[in-house]
Structure 1
Amino acid sequence: MKQAVSLRGADRAGTMLTRSSVLRGLFNRVFGTREAAWLVPLVAPYRWPLAMLFLLSLVAAGAALVPPYLTKLVIDRGLMAGDKHALVVFVVILFGVGLAALALGALNSLLHLRFSARLLKDLRRSAVDRILAQSPRWQAKQSIGELMSRLDGDAGEVQQFTFAVLVNGGGSLLRLVGGLVMLFVLAPKLALLALALAPVELLFFARARPVTQAKATEVRQARGVLASGLAETITGLSALRALNATGAAAKRIETRQQGLFAALMSAQMWNEVTRAVPMVLTALLRGAVFLVGGLAVIDGTMPLGSLIAFTAYLAFLIGPMQSLISLWHGQARMKAALDRLDRIMSAVPDVQDPVSPVPLTAGGGELVLAGVAYAPDGGVPLFENVSLIVPKGQKIRLCGPSGIGKTSLLSLLQRHDDPKAGTILLDGTDLRHLSLQDLRTVVALVPQKGHVFSGTVADNLCLGSSEATEEDMHAVLQFVELEDRFSGKGLETALGEGGLDLSGGERQRLCLARALLQPFQVLILDESLSEVDADRVARIMTRIDTRFGDRTRLVVTHGDAERYGTFDSELVLQAREVGV
């Protein structure tokens, strides 16, 4: 409930923020128009924390400008003037200002961490929501490791830069302006000498930005390639062992690691160049200031305290200027991460919820397919002119050659995709008029390769039915003959990622049990018991037919169908048509 309120608040705040032409222009310029469209609503809920952090950074920057001038007063009016009282007063004030600056800095850091971590959480949550909204067809084109790299490293890079540009930029700008003003107050001629550094650094970083972005892109792509290889190797470990190909897999990972190492070394060498140039320029400037200022002190035209204070304020000019330039330069690295993350955030789902969904019909289950055609990726239709009526409570067998499109046809019933032509009705309502959550609650689909998640048996069973009681879960485990398998710790039995500590048949039965806990009206079994022995399949299907005889059941089988019991009718999927 709290999350729902937060998201609604984010929408309202995002609307408020996008009305501001200044902020919209800033985000469009810094992040890009398309990226700003999804980033602004995420930043919007933090407008007050950001304002507070911005204010704190300005106060801290202002407070930091005071100690150098107090140091000048300590030297010139205390030490050099021989005034003990003034010396004590200015030292006490200097100490108090230092403590205040320390406290402000600590508070700013803690608040920055608190709210930037929350923004990162929201950014990843939004990206995960976008991934969850995509179809299996979209997922099949993605690499798990590459997606993880974007959710982890790229999201973190974008979050860090977002807070830096909105918070740190203001404080750096104030320190820069304040330091420059104090330099002219203390020694105008020396201040002009200090200003000569700015255009040189700006010119250098202007030339360096494209190279930095290219280097950052290479590193992130190499990380994604390595992460993809690692994920694929781990998930396919059993197949690699069976093929005696673990050595080949290790060599492939080593090659990808070498690619990442080369990209990292190239990027680091360039980073050292971009660090060394401003450091050399700064050293030259400091040397020139000490030389010219020192001669002025020797000649008696400049007090010693003024020179010391000038060199301190020089840091306020150099540090913030380099910070702002680095922020501008860092935008190039951020853009490399942002472009990769945008491929997730700007992905348009193949199917979307209707604006005004139609309520479900209670106790239904009738399916009608009229002239349905399906063409993956808009190419040649996999099948077309599929027209059939499945009355409520019927048990239908769907069969046909492998690869003919049975799974694709069944996926349309849960709207993982929409048909190229024709309509599919559930109890007289077009599926496109139902909310996806309602539809996928009443149409339960159990695939051949069902996924078991890390956690307990109870965690897995509750995924599709959060209201299921322990009694319900024990009953459904007994229903699919898994009660004895988990007789030790029962529902609290821990399962590994992917359920690799279970046999193939046990995974299939656990996934079936999970679906049977849903309040379904239509049950789809897509070769869901293909790895279970025939006698057990016959017993389980008999229980399903007895317990759920009033529900519509669609069963995909290959070969021997007798073990699934009797069917009311059989559908044979052929090339581009369905025969009944």
Structure 2
Amino acid sequence: MRDLIPYLKLYRRHWFGLTLGMLLGLATVLSAMSLLTLSGWFLAASAVAGLTIARETFNYMLPAAGVRGFSLARTAGRWGERVVSHNATFKLLADLRIFFFRKLTPLIPGRQTNLRDADLLNRLVADVDAMDHVYLRLISPLIIGVIALLAICGFLYWFDPELALILGAVLLTLMFALPVLFYLLGKKHGETLTMAKAGFRIRLLDWIQGQAELLLFNAEPGYREQTLNEQQSLLLAQRRMASLTGLANAMLLLATGWTLVLMIWLAADGVGGNTPDPMIALVAFATMASFELMMPVAGAFQYLGQTLTSARRLNEIIHATPDTTFAPNGHQSQVKGEIQVEQVHFAYHNSTQTVLDQVSLELKAGQKLALLGRTGCGKSTLLQLLTRNWDPQQGQITLDGVPLPQWQESSLRAAISVVSQRVDLFNGTVRDNLLLAKPDASEEELSATLTKVGLQKLLEGNGLDTWLGDGGRQISGGERRRMGIARALLHNAPVMLLDEPTEGLDRRTEQQILALLFEHMVDKTVVFITHRLVGLEAMDQICLMDEGKIIERGNHQELMAQQGRYSQLWNRI
């Protein structure tokens, strides 16, 4: 149960709605029990009165009004409880997803990147959804059940203390025994069901997202078969939980029947020392009504194993420690753009291979640096260190003389614009994807920026409301690249990090984009990674990297004069 503590704390934000829903639920249960109890007594009393002279004096109107009143109260209470409690629960789940996402974001791209996208999606959707069991199927039914139990026993105690105590003892025994029993029976099945959902979602998403590659390599039938196997595992787990639900209902019906027989037998000689009268029917129907509050209790603990498993899966993310942490009250100031990398050494977690080995460089504000080298030599990793996705194991990186770990995260992010190799586009409109870079940008500014990067055709038709699809699949790879450049232009930070910004573009478009970037970067500090030797004459520094080290550095003229590796590369084109 300790795994649920972080989620119970979130309930304080919605205490009013959750408490109101619980009160309405209690009112509904009490109305339902009162309706059944009063109806049973009223029918029996009316029948007896009809056979005797009491039919002339029996008050039919007041009990009939009570039946109608409790019936209306039960209907209204049920509707109100559903509206209020589900509204509060949905808001709670929305807050929980935001809370989970905020905990997840600092872990990327750290050690948690080994988690599959589908697994993270399953935790964000299915595992968070399982948390509604804590309130709707655990806390609320238990509290309502205990209060309603005391109410029905107190009501019967007014007429016959012995019968009230016996019924209370039976109900209390069942209320404590059944949850424990069904928690033990459902614990293993709940864990299996949670893992089966995760496995099926992962396999299904892989199958859907990889359709093109699977069909190309004739691997689609095998993946489809594996997906169907995961589906069968999920269906089997659901069938077992359904069987357990049926067993719980059967046991409650059996307990209801035997308790009803016991209470009728005890009340047969009269209630409260009186001769047998319609009060026997009141006791019988009160007994049946009291078991209505027991129905959700067993089900709550049946699914507790599933809820705890989901909570543990969420806690793996929530309690994980980010590889890089930011101080909330860290350094913040107007950034000039001076960057200094001092003897930086870096290797990835659980890897003995060195990625960067004693790398040092210095950029004054407004200077531009080009990084060259073959794939895997550490260029992109250096950019990741500059944005503090990771921290070096040795050495340090400073921005305006302040070590990066001392910066406040929001200030550091505002100071740097990044165009990475992979441009992530979200399943939304063009406007949605551009406003990520500048939330207060006007439509005119967005349209002008798209035109600058050569994406004016996206303004046709629906314009900024054009839907890009999942991952931007509605546009080409080159267009996705230019969307990333458009974001960098909108962000307009004093430091720009460009990782192959013109990769995948034709030569003409590349020249246009480079001219646009150089115009935009006039007074900015720039780190520019490229495999294509274009635009290097305008760079203040050029560093050629190999195996995590800088093997040559200088401007274009200096490196050409050295007749080294850079000169050889240049002469080949």
TM range (shorter): 0.7 to 0.9
What's the Cα RMSD here?
Answer: 3.0
Tell me the secondary structure at the aligned position of residue 573 of structure 1.
strand
Q: Which residue of 1 aligns with 2:250?
A: 276
Deviations 1:71-126 (A, max 9, x none): 46645765433344522233223323433343333323321122122112111121
Deviations 1:27-73 (A, max 9, x none): xxxx41x541x324421122233333344444445545544554466
Percent identity of paired positions between Structure 1 and Structure 2: 24
Q: Which residue of 2 aligns with 1:443?
A: 416
Most deviating of 61-70 and 43-52? 61-70
Within the alignment, does 1:244 sit opposite 2:212 as a pair? no
Q: Which residue of 2 aligns with 1:522?
A: 495
Q: Which residue of 2 aligns with 1:156?
A: 129
Q: Distance in 1 between matches of 2:33 and 2:245?
A: 30
Tell me the secondary structure at the aligned position of residue 136 of structure 1.
coil
CA deviation after TM superposition for structure 1 residue 325, in Å: 4.3
Q: Distance in 1 between matches of 2:189 and 2:70?
A: 43
CA deviation after TM superposition for structure 1 residue 371, in Å: 1.9
TM-score, normalised relative to structure 2: 0.86
The structure 2 residue matched to 1:551, chosen from 524, 529, 539, is: 524
Pair 101,496 (structure 1): closer, same or farther in 2 beyond 3 Å: closer
Within the alignment, does 1:231 sit opposite 2:205 as a pair? yes
Counterpart of 1:107 in structure 2: which amino acid?
A: G
Tell me the secondary structure at the aligned position of residue 436 of structure 2.
coil
CA contact (8 A) 1:534 1:563 kept: no
CA contact (8 A) 1:442 1:518 kept: no
Most deviating of 99-108 and 546-555? 99-108
Tell me the secondary structure at the aligned position of residue 360 of structure 2.
strand
Tell me the secondary structure at the aligned position of residue 370 of structure 2.
strand
The structure 1 residue matched to 2:192, chosen from 218, 227, 230, is: 218
Q: Distance in 1 between matches of 2:489 and 2:64?
A: 77
CA contact (8 A) 1:116 1:160 kept: no
Q: Distance in 1 between matches of 2:67 and 2:231?
A: 53
Q: Which residue of 2 aligns with 1:44?
A: 12
Within the alignment, does 1:367 sit opposite 2:335 as a pair? no
Q: Distance in 2 between matches of 1:69 and 1:487?
A: 69
Pair 431,209 (structure 1): closer, same or farther in 2 beyond 3 Å: same
Within the alignment, does 1:570 sit opposite 2:538 as a pair? no
Most deviating of 494-503 and 235-244? 235-244
CA contact (8 A) 1:361 1:427 kept: no
CA deviation after TM superposition for structure 1 residue 233, in Å: 2.7
Q: Which residue of 1 aligns with 2:385?
A: 412
Counterpart of 2:11 in structure 1: which amino acid?
A: V
Most deviating of 277-286 and 73-82? 73-82
Tell me the secondary structure at the aligned position of residue 545 of structure 1.
helix
CA deviation after TM superposition for structure 1 residue 224, in Å: 0.9
Q: Which residue of 2 aligns with 1:24?
A: none
Q: Distance in 1 between matches of 2:303 and 2:475?
A: 48
CA contact (8 A) 1:240 1:246 kept: yes
Q: Distance in 2 between matches of 1:504 and 1:156?
A: 35
Pair 335,302 (structure 1): closer, same or farther in 2 beyond 3 Å: farther
Pair 471,198 (structure 1): closer, same or farther in 2 beyond 3 Å: closer
Pair 98,302 (structure 1): closer, same or farther in 2 beyond 3 Å: farther
Q: Which runs of 5 or more structure 1 residues have no equivalent in the other structure?
A: 1-30
Tell me the secondary structure at the aligned position of residue 554 of structure 1.
strand
The structure 1 residue matched to 2:504, chosen from 507, 525, 531, is: 531
Q: Which residue of 1 aligns with 2:89?
A: 116
Q: For residues 147-186 of structure 1, what are the structure 2 equivalents within 5 Å?
A: 147-186=120-159
Deviations 1:406-453 (A, max 9, x none): 222211111112222221111112222222222122211111121222
Q: Distance in 2 between matches of 1:490 and 1:88?
A: 69
CA deviation after TM superposition for structure 1 residue 545, in Å: 1.4
Within the alignment, does 1:467 sit opposite 2:440 as a pair? yes
CA contact (8 A) 2:429 2:468 kept: yes
Q: Which residue of 1 aligns with 2:556?
A: none
Q: Which residue of 1 aligns with 2:566?
A: none
Q: Distance in 1 between matches of 2:171 and 2:4?
A: 34
Q: Distance in 2 between matches of 1:69 and 1:475?
A: 73
Within the alignment, does 1:265 sit opposite 2:239 as a pair? yes
CA deviation after TM superposition for structure 1 residue 218, in Å: 0.9
CA contact (8 A) 2:185 2:302 kept: no
Pair 176,450 (structure 1): closer, same or farther in 2 beyond 3 Å: same
Pair 539,565 (structure 1): closer, same or farther in 2 beyond 3 Å: farther
Q: Which residue of 1 aligns with 2:372?
A: 399
The structure 2 residue matched to 1:561, chosen from 503, 516, 533, is: 533
CA deviation after TM superposition for structure 1 residue 535, in Å: 3.2
CA contact (8 A) 2:179 2:300 kept: no
TM-score, normalised relative to structure 1: 0.85
CA contact (8 A) 2:40 2:285 kept: no
Tell me the secondary structure at the aligned position of residue 372 of structure 1.
strand
Deviations 1:258-300 (A, max 9, x none): 222222223333333333333333333334445x268647xx9
Pair 404,275 (structure 1): closer, same or farther in 2 beyond 3 Å: farther
CA contact (8 A) 1:77 1:83 kept: no
Q: Distance in 2 between matches of 1:208 and 1:358?
A: 54
Structure 1 moving runs of 4+ over 6 Å: none
The structure 1 residue matched to 2:355, chosen from 376, 379, 382, is: 382
Within the alignment, does 1:303 sit opposite 2:271 as a pair? no
Report the number of matched residues. Answer: 544
CA deviation after TM superposition for structure 1 residue 331, in Å: 2.8
Pair 505,371 (structure 1): closer, same or farther in 2 beyond 3 Å: same
Q: Which residue of 2 aligns with 1:345?
A: 318
Q: Which residue of 2 aligns with 1:483?
A: 456
Q: Distance in 1 between matches of 2:412 and 2:177?
A: 59
Tell me the secondary structure at the aligned position of residue 320 of structure 1.
helix
Q: Distance in 1 between matches of 2:229 and 2:545?
A: 45
Pair 41,209 (structure 1): closer, same or farther in 2 beyond 3 Å: closer
Pair 71,319 (structure 1): closer, same or farther in 2 beyond 3 Å: closer
CA deviation after TM superposition for structure 1 residue 248, in Å: 2.8
Q: Distance in 1 between matches of 2:174 and 2:77?
A: 33
Counterpart of 1:39 in structure 2: which amino acid?
A: Y
Most deviating of 460-469 and 196-205? 196-205
Pair 468,70 (structure 1): closer, same or farther in 2 beyond 3 Å: closer
Pair 149,161 (structure 1): closer, same or farther in 2 beyond 3 Å: same
CA deviation after TM superposition for structure 1 residue 465, in Å: 1.0
